[in-house]
Amino acid sequence: MIGLSAGHGIKHFGQGALLLISPEIRAAMDLSAAAFGGIAGAQSAASGIANIPAGILADMYRRRVAVLLTISMLLVGSGYVIIGLSPWYWLIIMAVSIIGFGTSLWHAPAFGTLAANYPERRGVAMSAHLTGAQVGNTISPIIIGFMLSGITIGALSINWDGMHWRLVSVLLFIPAGLTALAVVLRVKTAGKESKGNLTVSQYMTSLKLLLRNTGVLGMVVLGAFRGAVHTSFQAFLILYMYEELEYTPFVVGLHVALITMAGIASTPVMGIISDRVGRKPVIATAMSLMAVLIFFFLEFDTGAPLTVLIGFLGLFFFSVMPIITAAVMDQVEEGSEGSGTALMFLGGAIIGAATPVLAGKLFYDPYGFTGVVWFAGSLAATGAVLAVILPTRRRAA
């Protein structure tokens, strides 16, 4: 649990860096809001496609989990190198797609392994894994923002203008590469709980049962709505702070860190509560509060109130995801945990690929950040309704 969670944190450190680099790409290439949204959309689309082979490989070759995780980190690092060297938008789209493919290649093996190892504490295990991600998401924007902005201290005559975004992007291969090496050396026993590899016929049988499971499919749809809120709202919140509030990259990074910082504490608490009282009340409450807090941005959109509101949103923005994942794991058959995880992320990625582009074209361009708030808030409210009406059950371990 600790090793996989730590690796997940480094993966999200690299993944989160794109949030700070994307506005720099938009400015350098003079991109429209729709094209800017296309960067996040391409990452999400590739992530969705990757879930299909990731789920299959994670279930059929559980004893090769370490290999899959290593490839995942190398793909993330390589994508950033291409971004740093590319002069063309289409090549950057290809690079973020590689990053998206790499990030998804981590989820199914890691979540599936945790679900199989901790059947009675899935809420805690999934939450611990996401807590690692939130640590990475919290540290990443601060460090990347500092690298882009630099620092000026007049009293000490210190003045550093920061790094170009292309150099920052290339340097991101270092943490990804080191993590890949650490996985090879330290997490090579992941998947040892497996009794052996599945045959193709065994896998197809479990997959058919999974695709007929209405409880799982319902959670997949709910997870997709949560992912749509995440990708659309966060991308344009950052753009709003850059372009309308004229915050420096470092200040933007601090605000992005707030989105996940509060979740470091709330995520394990929500996981423990969901193990004890059930997934539905936790998910429904979190999605409802997320919707309310997003609509509050209509009123509190500048200064200290904006900062405080971002912090409160961070209590639920990411923290509900592992609870939805645990609800899926509760209902899948033994041996198909990887495919269940992949199916959940696939649904989120498909919706997440379209929503940033729609948010940019239909809401941000004509109505500004206010339009995106209405769009994301409505998605979150719909997700809250789904959380109330969808059935959940706990399969005996």
The band of 80, judged by pLDDT with boundaries at 50, 70 and 90, is very high
**Measured between alpha carbons, how far is 236 from 311 in angstroms, rounded to an integer?**
17
List, for residues 318-352, the tens digit of each pLDDT value.
788 888 888 887 777 665 666 666 677 666 666 76
With 0.75 as the threshold, say if the pTM is over it: no
Q: Predicted confidence band at 282 (pLDDT cuts at 50, 70, 90)? A: very high
Q: Which residue has the tokens 């680099």?
A: 21
| pLDDT surpasses 50 at 397 | no
The pLDDT assigned to 253 comes to: 81
159 SS3 class: strand
- Average pLDDT over every residue of 276-299: 92
User: Which pLDDT score is estimated for 396?
Assistant: 46
Pick the closest to residue 4 from 154, 145, 118 (CA basis). Answer: 118
Residue 350 and residue 150 in contact, taking contact as beta carbons nearer than 8 Å: no
Report the pLDDT value the prediction gives residue 103, as an integer from 0 to 100.
80
Quick one: pLDDT band at residue 376, thresholds 50, 70, 90?
A: very high
- For residue 24, give every residue at least 6 positions away whose Cβ sits within 8 Å of its Cβ, in sequence order, or none: 148, 165, 249
Report whether 259 contacts 324 (CB < 8 A): no
Bridge partners, residue 152, by sequence: 159
Of all residues in the chain, what percent are helix, strand and coil, respectively (each to 5)?
Answer: 80, 0, 15
CA gyration radius for the chain? 20
Helix axes 33-60, 337-358, angle to 10 degrees: 170
Model confidence at 166, pLDDT cuts 50, 70, 90, reads very high
Take residue 340 and report the two structure tokens written for it.
Answer: 């269940």
CA atoms within 13 A on the CB side of 291: 18
**Residue 394 φ/ψ, nearest 5 degrees:** -110, 115
Angle at 246 between CA 245 and CA 249, to 5 degrees: 120
Q: How far apart are CA 377 and CA 104, in angstroms?
A: 26
Q: Evaluate whether 236 touches 40 at the Cβ level (below 8 Å).
A: no
Per-residue pLDDT tens digits for 26-65: 888 888 888 888 887 787 778 777 777 776 776 666 667 7
**Between 189 and 138, whose confidence is greater?**
138
Long-range contacts formed by 368-371: CB under 8 A, 24+ apart: 368/240, 368/244, 369/236, 369/237, 369/240, 369/244, 369/297, 369/301, 370/298, 370/301
Q: What is the pLDDT of residue 277?
A: 85
Range 357-377 average pLDDT: 90
In the predicted model, what is the mean pLDDT of residues 184-205?
61
What's the half-sphere exposure (Cβ side, CA atoms, 13 Å) at 252?
30
Q: CA-to-CA distance for 18 and 90, rounded, in angstroms?
A: 16
Residue 299 has what pLDDT?
93
Residue 154: pLDDT over 60: no
- Residue 341 CB-density burial (10 A; 0-12 exposed, 13-18 middle, 19+ buried): buried
Q: Which residue has the tokens 């290809």?
A: 94
- Once rounded to an integer, what is the mean pLDDT over residues 206-231? 79
User: Quick one: DSSP state of residue 156?
Assistant: G
Percent of the chain with pLDDT over 70: 75
Q: Which residues contact 318 (CB under 8 A, 6 or more apart)?
A: 130, 133, 134, 137, 230, 259, 260, 263, 267
Q: Give yes or no for a contact between 347 and 220, defined as CB atoms under 8 angstroms apart.
A: yes
Tokens of 193: 């709980």
Mean per-residue pLDDT over the chain, rounded: 80
**In this predicted model, what pLDDT tens digit does every residue of 81-124 receive, in sequence order?**
999 998 899 999 999 999 888 887 776 677 666 666 665 666 66
Tokens of 344: 């959940």
Beta partners for residue 273, in sequence order: none
What's 2-192+201-389's CATH class?
mainly alpha
Contact 261, 343 (CB under 8 A): no
Tokens 């700070």 belong to 20
Q: Can you tell me the distance from the alpha carbon of 158 to that of 236, in angstroms, rounded to the nearest whole number?
A: 33
- Inter-residue contact 366 to 58 (CB < 8 Å): no
**Per-residue pLDDT at 151:** 67
Mean pLDDT for 357-369 is 88
Q: Which of 285, 391, 384 is nearest to 328 (CA)?
A: 391
d(CA 358, CA 41): 10
Q: Summarize pLDDT for 224-265 with one digit per residue, the tens.
A: 888 888 888 988 998 899 889 988 888 888 888 888 787 777
- What is the model's pLDDT at position 188? 60
- What pLDDT score was predicted for residue 94? 92
Sign of the torsion formed by the C-alpha atoms of 18, 227, 53 and 186: positive
pLDDT at residue 241, as a whole number = 92
pLDDT of residue 372: 93
Task: Give residue-wise pLDDT tens across range 291-321.
Answer: 999 999 999 989 999 999 998 998 888 788 8
- Domain edges within the chain: 2-192+201-389
